[in-house]
Structure 1
């Protein structure tokens, strides 16, 4: 038990990164899918924080929340796909919900923290990125 609680083995770290990556991406895909499935409903009420129009803003949110989240779950191009996710959650927390109470922006801040942590740590060895990097080292 002591070894489990106090070890810093690479397998436990990589397993933790996998769990964080899959859970953050999986939950975000649900948000993205609901926007795809109810696109016309969202279009009437979606905010436009950058003046691009609600349709473009909604499409950019769908791109990040659904398509980038899929790639993050796979661990493919992880740091690249985290950039739109970080940008989207920063926009949601500080622009869209900036004047709202903390309880409203809390979820986007939690996602933001997870995505920033994954950006700095990378996806771990249990990812497509790691497999691609392994193959490139043997060339």
Structure 2
């Protein structure tokens, strides 16, 4: 019992990374797809947090929240795909919702935490990146 509670196997670490990747990428369903399917509705109310215009800002958010999220979910170009997702969550939490209460920032900060952890640890063994790396060595 002590071994189970105080040690971690490699398979558990890789499985945890896969679950974290897939869980974090669920953003594509609740945020990315919603913005794609109602683009004009979102455009009418989307802010311009980085000064590029609401249309460009919305397109960048869709790129990160939908397309990059798909790549993270399958573990392909994971660290590269996480960069736009991290930037998007930073902008959402610190600029777009800067004056809002913490409860409005909480979700973007939680996503940000997941994305930073994934960026630091990498995609794990159960990813397309790992399969590519395995073939190249």
* TM-score relative to the length of structure 2: 0.97
**SS of 1:48 mapped into structure 2:** coil
Partner of 1:111: 111
How far apart are the structure 2 equivalents of 1:67 and 1:5? 38
2:14 aligns with 14
Deviation of the 1:47 alpha carbon? 0.8
Cα distance in 1 between the residues matched to 2:28 and 2:16: 20
Gaps in structure 1 of 5+ consecutive residues: none
Q: Distance in 1 between matches of 2:5 and 2:40?
A: 49
1:123 paired residue number: 123
- Mapping of residues 17-32 of structure 1, within 5 Å: 17-26=17-26, 28-30=27-29, 31-32=31-32
Q: Secondary structure of the residue that 2:25 maps to in structure 1?
A: helix
Corresponding residue number in structure 1 for 2:78: 78
Residue of structure 2 in register with 1:98 after alignment: 98
| Cα displacement (A) at 1:51 | 1.4
Q: Aligned-residue CA RMSD in angstroms?
A: 0.8
Q: Shift of the alpha carbon at 1:8?
A: 1.5
1:68-118 per-residue CA deviation (whole Å, 9 max, x = no partner) reads 000000000000000000000000000000111100000000000000000
Tell me which residue corresponds to 2:62. 62
Take 2:91 and 2:2, find their aligned partners in 1: how far apart are those partners?
42
Aligned equivalents of 1:90, 1:43: Cα separation in 2: 20
